[in-house]
Amino acid sequence: MKRALVGDIGGTNARFALWEDNRMHAVQVFATADYTSPEQAIGAYLADHGLARGELGAVCLAVAGPVDGDEFRFTNNHWRLSRQAFCKTLQVERLLLINDFTAMALGMTRLQAGEYRTVCDGTPDAGRPALVIGPGTGLGVGTLLSLGEDRWMALPGEGGHVDLPVGNAREAQIRQQIENEIGHVSAESVLSGGGLLRLYQAICALDGQPAPLQSPAAITDAALAGEPVALAVIEQFCCFLGRVAGNDVLTLGARAGVYIVGGVIPRFAELFLRSGFGASFADKGCMSGYFKDVPVWLVTAEFSGLLGAGVALQQAG
C-alpha cells in the first residue's frame, strides 16, 4: 500500500508528515514564503525524505477556508491550488482538502497524556458535542461529534465572527471603544493575535494611558513580567474568551467538553489558568448551573491539525 501524506497549511508555515498504519511520522515545517505553491513545498518534503513523485497514494491537506470546487485560494498566504493540477504534478491518486478547523477538531481525538491541561473540572458526556475553540491568527470555532466505534464528525463553522458578548459595564465600554475604531466588533476582533493588540489599545485609550507596546508578543512578555496594564489586558482577553465559549456551549449543548486550542493562549498558559475565564464561562444567569460538569481543557499538543488530517484520511477509507 502506498504512503499517504498529511499537511496543515497556515499563513506562515506549512506542516507535512507521512501517514502510515494510521500513525503520523517524519513531521517537517516549511515557511510558505519560501515556496511558490504547495506542490513545490511538498516536492521539497519528498526529496528530503528520499521519496519520488508517484509514491504517495493519497494526500490530505488542512486549509483555511471553504473547500468546494477544483480551485482553492489560500486566504492567508499567496498559494493557490487546483485539485486536478495538484494530483497530476505530484502523481497522487487522491487529494482530500478539509477545513483547517475540521482537522483541528478531529485532532482532539488523538490527544495523549501530557498534551492538555485541565482548566475546568467536569465529566464529559460522550453522547453530546464537544466545542473546539482557538484564538490564533483569527478565532477558530468547530464542533466535534462522536459517531461511535471510534468514528468522528467535525462540523466547521464561522463562530469566530459572532458578535463579541459583554457581561458588565466595563466590557461594554471596551466594546464601544473598539466599535468607534473599526465598526462591527466580532469575537475575532478581540480574540486573536491582532485582537490582543486592539484590546490593549482600547483599554489604554479608555483609561487615558499611553500605549507603548506595539505587538501581541510585547503585551504577552510584559504581562509575564508583571506589568499591571498588560496583566489587565490578558485578564480581560481571558474573560471575553470565557463568555464566547460559554455562549457556544449553550448553543451546541456541548457537554462533551471544551478544547481551547490555537497559538495565543499557550503563550501565557499560567496566567490563563489563574484568570477569570472559568467565572465568565459559566456567567449565564439562570443557566449558570448548566456548566457545573462541563470540562474545559487547554491543548498544548504541537501538531493537532496534522493528526486531524490523518484521522480524516483514515475515515475517508
User: Collapsing DSSP states into helix, strand and coil, what is residue 71?
Assistant: strand
C-alpha cell belonging to residue 55: 509514491
Query: Residue 172 corresponds to which amino acid?
Result: A
Contact call for residues 315 and 151 (beta carbons, < 8 A): yes
Contact call for residues 309 and 104 (beta carbons, < 8 A): no
Tens of pLDDT, residues 268-305: 999 999 999 999 999 999 999 999 999 999 999 989 99
User: Collapsing DSSP states into helix, strand and coil, what is residue 282?
Assistant: coil
pLDDT of the residue at 1 = 55
pTM: 0.92
Contact call for residues 62 and 98 (beta carbons, < 8 A): yes
C-alpha cell belonging to residue 64: 483555511
Q: Which residues are annotated as a binding site?
A: 7-12
- Angle (nearest 5°) at CA 264 between 259 and 269: 70
C-alpha cell belonging to residue 239: 474573560
Beta carbons within 8 Å of 306's beta carbon, 6+ residues apart? 6, 7, 8, 15, 16, 17, 24, 27, 62, 103, 107
Give the Å distances, CA to CA, from 257 to 90, 109, 172, 265.
40, 12, 28, 18
| The CATH number of the domain covering residues in 3-105+304-316 | 3.30.420.40
Q: What distance, in Å, lies between the first and last C-alpha atoms of the chain?
A: 13
CA distance linking residue 39 with residue 252, whole number of Å: 38
CA distance linking residue 293 with residue 263, whole number of Å: 26
Q: In this structure, what DSSP letter does residue 75 have?
A: S
Q: Which residues are annotated as a binding site for ATP?
A: 7-12
Residue holding cell 487546483?
82
The tens-digit pLDDT sequence of the chain (317 residues) is: 578 999 999 878 899 999 998 899 999 999 999 999 999 999 999 999 999 988 999 999 999 777 778 888 887 788 999 999 999 999 999 999 998 889 999 999 999 999 999 999 999 999 999 999 999 888 999 999 999 988 999 997 889 999 999 999 999 999 999 999 999 999 999 999 999 999 999 999 999 999 999 999 999 999 999 999 999 999 999 999 999 999 999 999 999 999 999 999 999 999 999 999 999 999 999 999 999 999 999 999 989 999 999 999 999 87
To the question of domain 116-300 being in CATH 3.40.50.1980, the answer is: no
pLDDT of the residue at 202 = 98
DSSP track, 189-241: HHSSHHHHHHHHHHHHHHTT------SHHHHHHHHHTT-HHHHHHHHHHHHHH
Per domain, the residue ranges of the chain are 3-105+304-316, 116-300
pLDDT of the residue at 2 = 76
DSSP track, 149-167: TTEEEEEE--GGGSBPP--
In this structure, the strands spanning 56-63 and 94-99 are parallel
